[in-house]
Amino acid sequence: MKDLIKVANELQKVMDFEEGGPPVDGTEKELNKWVEEAVDEIDYEIDKFTDDTTRILIDMQLWRGPALDEDEDEDDPEVEVVEEVEEVEDNLVDQIKAAGQMKDLKIICKDLDEFKPIRGYLTKYKTVKELREVMLEMLKEEKEEKPEPKAKAEKVVEKKKEPEQKEEKTLVVKKETKQKGLTDHSKSNKAVVYLAWKDGEKDLEKLHKKVNESVKLGTIKSWITQWKTEKNLPAVAKE
């Protein structure tokens, strides 16, 4: 109740409602209802609140603004550095699958930069299954979009030739090496959806069919929400 009163008073102070101030002397139910109605009037580009109030609204699943950039708690154990990247990714997948509660998944999202694009939207996910599927899909897409190391140019062993012939052979080798280093984005579901969406396709069902329904509609909708604010863009968008 104390936190609720604190939040209500700050909402009143920041938004300066002329009528219907917070019923701080009323019941918890009445105050909670007032806070819910006040939050609906927030202009997230103008109204600014303290981190404590923002954190409480996030816990109440009422906050719809940007996520807090919180530093890691001093009491958190240090993350063990693992040299093999694939091993780290496998362990992370196991952690996500093993998480049984929303708070466990939210902790992972807040601790790891891989999930930074959805930190401000965590309150819209209502079930563990829904949030888990989005997180696993993000890891999968990130892995698909990592460019493969460029192939080393093979040394050309050749006999003595005329200068013009040697120069032509060198140009061909350089061209082939450059082509081998290109990343094929056509295999990325996110890249396929992004390119179609960028070309003007807004129908979720049609975008869903573009990837043979291999990605959930909820995931595609989440991507588009983030792309509208230039977040979580696929690698193909930067080319």
Each residue's pLDDT tens digit, 169-218 = 555 544 554 444 444 445 688 889 889 988 999 898 898 888 888 888 88
* The length of the chain, given as a count of residues: 239
Angle at 89 between CA 196 and CA 111, to 5 degrees: 90
**Predicted local confidence at residue 153, as pLDDT:** 46
Positions in the chain short of pLDDT 70 = 18-20, 70-89, 145-187, 239
Question: What is the pTM assigned to this prediction?
Answer: 0.30
The DSSP call for residue 148 is P
**Predicted local confidence at residue 97, as pLDDT:** 87
CA 77 – CA 75 distance, rounded (Å): 6
> Residues with Cβ < 8 Å from 166, sequence gap 6 or more?
158
Closest Cα to residue 52, out of 5, 86, 98?
Answer: 5
CA 230 – CA 236 distance, rounded (Å): 13
In contact, 57 and 47? CB cutoff 8 Å = no
| pLDDT per residue as tens digits for the range 62-79 | 888 888 775 544 444 554
Query: What token pair was written down for 207?
Result: 């975008």
Query: What token pair was written down for 39?
Result: 């939050």
**Predicted local confidence at residue 185, as pLDDT:** 47
